[in-house]
Structure 1
Amino acid sequence: MWHEARRSEKKVHDMMDAARKRAQRRAIYLAKRRGDPQQSIQVVGSRARAYRDDALYQATEDQQGLIPWNGKQDILIDRFDGRALLDFIRDSSFRRVQEKSEEEEELEEFVNFERYRDLVKHRRRGCRYFFIS
């Protein structure tokens, strides 16, 4: 009976040692991979030939490849542009600011108070850092 317990205990210790060694190897591997980011930069290139095509250049400069978008003559897009599949383009400069009611403002003030209450309480007690887990 004692021999059997000793054998199972040795098996457990061997498994623990193997797990510890695996963890150490994994930590070393990750430390190497996480090392200096400039050491992991790879530059890959291939040879390409550039052909001078004056007619294509002139067509691009004259905007011959552009088509009116959504039937509007003042908005021109490339004929291969993915925006041609859209129905409309939202104007990003126009942002509507909604007026908040007095009840919504009070609720927002209460929520902000609850949000920062623990931070203020710990700061008052002298804690410089407060981590929420």
Structure 2
Amino acid sequence: MWHEARKSERKVHDLMDAARKRAQRRAVFLAKRRGDPQQSIQVIGSRCRMYRDDGLYQATQDQQGLIPWNGKEDILIDRFDGRALLDFIREPRHGRAKEKSEEEEELEEFVNFERYRDLIKHRRRGCRYFFELD
């Protein structure tokens, strides 16, 4: 009975030691990875041949490979463009910030006062370790 208890205790200690060593190795590995990010930049290149094709270049410049998008002649896209899979293109919002009424400006000023009131009160009392107002 004593031998079995001792044997299981050794097994538990061995497992704990293995877990501790694994955690240390993991910490060292992660510390190396967390180092300077510029040290982990890899640039990979391969040779390729360039073939000059004046006809293809001119066709691209003349926009011959473009197709009308969604039946609209004024919107042209490349035939391999992913937008061809969309049903519509959302118009960009160019709306200016609308003018605030005097009541809205007063309300916003009051809300800002309430937002920073505690900070200003603490600063007057000399508690400068919470924040630093410029």
> TM-score, normalization: structure 2?
0.64
Runs of 4+ residues deviating >3 angstroms:
1-7, 124-129
Report deviation, 1:94: 5.5
Pairs within 5 Å for 1:1-133: 1-93=1-93, 128=130
Partner SS for 2:63: coil
Partner SS for 1:67: strand
Instruction: Give the share of equivalent positions with the same residue, in percent.
Output: 75
> Residue deviations 1:27-59, cap 9 Å, x none?
111212222211211111111111111111111
**2:106 alignment partner in structure 1:** none
- Which AA in structure 2 matches 1:87? D
Q: Any stretches of 5+ residues in structure 2 without a counterpart?
A: 98-113
Q: Say what the alpha-carbon RMSD is for the aligned residues.
A: 3.5
> Residue deviations 1:2-40, cap 9 Å, x none?
444333333322221111111111111121222221121
Counterpart-to-counterpart distance in 2, 1:3 and 1:70: 82
Counterpart-to-counterpart distance in 2, 1:19 and 1:126: 46
Report deviation, 1:127: 7.9
Report deviation, 1:88: 0.9
The count of aligned residue pairs is: 113
> TM-score, normalization: structure 1?
0.65
